[in-house]
Amino acid sequence: MVENDLAGAEDYLKSLHIDNEVPVIGITGPPGAGKSTLVGALITELLKQNKKIAVLAVDPTSPFNMGSLLGDRIRMAEHFNHPDVFIRSIASRGSVGGLSVKTIEMCDVMRAACFDYIIVETVGVGQSEIDIAGLADITMVVLVPESGDEIQHIKSGLMEIANVFIVNKADRDGADAFVSNIKKMVMQKHADIPVFKTDAVHDIGIAEIAGHLQQANLAVNSKRLFLLTEKVYRLVQHKRMQGIEKTKLQQLIAEASQKKDFNIYRFADSINSMNS
């Protein structure tokens, strides 16, 4: 109901008794880092502690056909029918601000539903840094040893959002050197960010991450005010942009751009006027 903005969704959200002590754990990183496998292993470990876990796997929507693979359900199949696990893949659908806002709202529904942990998996460092930074209480950045070259040009963004670094597939060559480089980078920034080595396929290092989550104190999160501000900003932005979807926008542009005097700035202003 909330995801699709069905009738009554707004009133329902306003009536929720949200438990803000339930941590939202953001897991992000480049494609191929093994995020879904890591999430599956983490779920298994948390279930051993009798925890209830909700997972929202955000799949990118194609900018061309507005379709989405929703493939994370396949990789987490072993947990589908567990009574203490809720897994949902959601697509960004091309709505302006829709990805962040729908995920924020769905996380709050989960926070009101007696879960112990909410995990949000997003795709791609660079693509979703701002989204996940404005949503998660704890942001885990998953990398693989082959990320060594790209760490140089993404490290500033990573340092802004990461609360935890995870080097997955750590059985590969160069893993120790890569972990050492990340630790040096953290030290240079005088940051208190743990770095974990994992092999999610063989369940190595997962218990240490689960232990860290248990000890994490959200109350001392220095980014908490930023997180709340970012969430409210996204909610207000989404409300003002409601009704503007890329598919509809594409149709309007297709018609308007045929005119010889088409001007992108006048066109944008007319869209603003329609929604003011």
H helix runs in 21-150, sequence order: 35-48, 72-75, 98-111, 129-133
Residues facing 28 on adjacent strands: 141
DSSP-derived letter for residue 87 is E
Q: What is the pLDDT of residue 61?
A: 53
CATH fit for domain 9-238, picks 3.20.20.450, 3.30.710.10, 3.90.1150.10, 3.40.50.300: 3.40.50.300
Q: What is the pLDDT of residue 234?
A: 77
Residues facing 142 on adjacent strands: 166
138, 190, 193, 216, 223 from 220: Cα distances, Å: 12, 17, 14, 9, 9
Q: What is the pLDDT of residue 99?
A: 54
Q: What is the pLDDT of residue 12?
A: 93
> Quick one: tokens of 200?
């999610």
CA gap 219, 133 in Å, rounded = 17
Q: What is the pLDDT of residue 271?
A: 83
Q: What is the pLDDT of residue 117?
A: 95
> Quick one: tokens of 202?
């063989």
DSSP E strands in the chain: the ranges are: 24-28, 53-59, 85-91, 117-121, 138-143, 164-167, 195-197
pLDDT in tens, the chain (276 residues): 988 888 999 899 999 988 888 999 999 887 788 888 899 999 999 999 999 999 998 866 544 444 444 455 555 667 878 999 999 888 765 444 445 678 888 999 999 998 999 999 886 544 445 567 677 888 898 988 876 555 654 555 666 778 899 999 999 988 898 889 888 888 887 778 899 999 999 999 999 999 999 887 665 566 667 777 877 887 887 777 777 777 788 888 999 999 988 888 888 888 877 766
Residues of the chain with CATH 3.40.50.300: 9-238
Residue labelled with tokens 């001007």:
263
- The helix (H) or strand (E) run that includes residue 209 is helix 206-215
Conformation bin of residue 56: beta by default, left when phi > 0, alpha when psi is -120 to 50: beta
Q: What is the pLDDT of residue 153?
A: 47
